[in-house]
Amino acid sequence: MVKPRRQPLRYEDGTFKIIDKFKQNAGRKGGLTTGATKARIGASNGKYDASRARRECCGVISTRSHKSNCVNHRSQQFNALKGLRKESIIITKVNSEDYLKVGGVISWLYGVDANCIGCNQNLKAPKAAKVHKDDLQKNPVRAICRKCA
């Protein structure tokens, strides 16, 4: 489908309206519409009202949301939560020097109980990751569970 060409602008008597781009632009030389000279910060802003309570942290009116870079802004709180979650995951690295991988000695471990030296939980020895090499004849054995390995 061919888009119809826009009709040229005409005066009421039928003569064409000529749009002079230079004249149009000349009329806009009075000042900037954006940028630093146009910024109305604080009391220079017509909407500024000193009587309204403002947030101490970022100066925003207290009924409005914090500035996005403020520590109390929602997004920042979310980041803090993410940090907390990271901190709560404590990676316990236990010394596994004298421990053997269960896979190699599993035939010794059927029916044997184990106790994890990392998190102190009781489990079945074949379900552990490693067991102490001196405990293969014992029950229960010292072990390292899969979470602590």
Instruction: Give the Å distances, CA to CA, from 75 to 69, 79, 127.
Output: 9, 6, 42
61 binds Zn ion (CB under 5 A): no
Among 66, 109, 114, 141, binds Zn ion (CB under 5 A): 66
Nearest approach, Cβ of residue 134 and Zn ion (Å): 19
Among 102, 114, 116, 125, binds Zn ion (CB under 5 A): 116
One symbol per residue from 29 to 58: x for binding Zn ion (CB under 5 A), - otherwise; what is it?
Answer: --------------------------x-xx
DSSP 109: -
80 binds Zn ion (CB under 5 A): no
Closest CA to 120 of 88, 147, 87: 147
Spatial contact of 120 and 138, defined as CB atoms under 8 Å apart: no
CA distance 57 to 46: 23
For Zn ion, the binding residues (CB under 5 A) are: 55, 57-58, 66, 70, 72, 116, 118-119, 145, 148
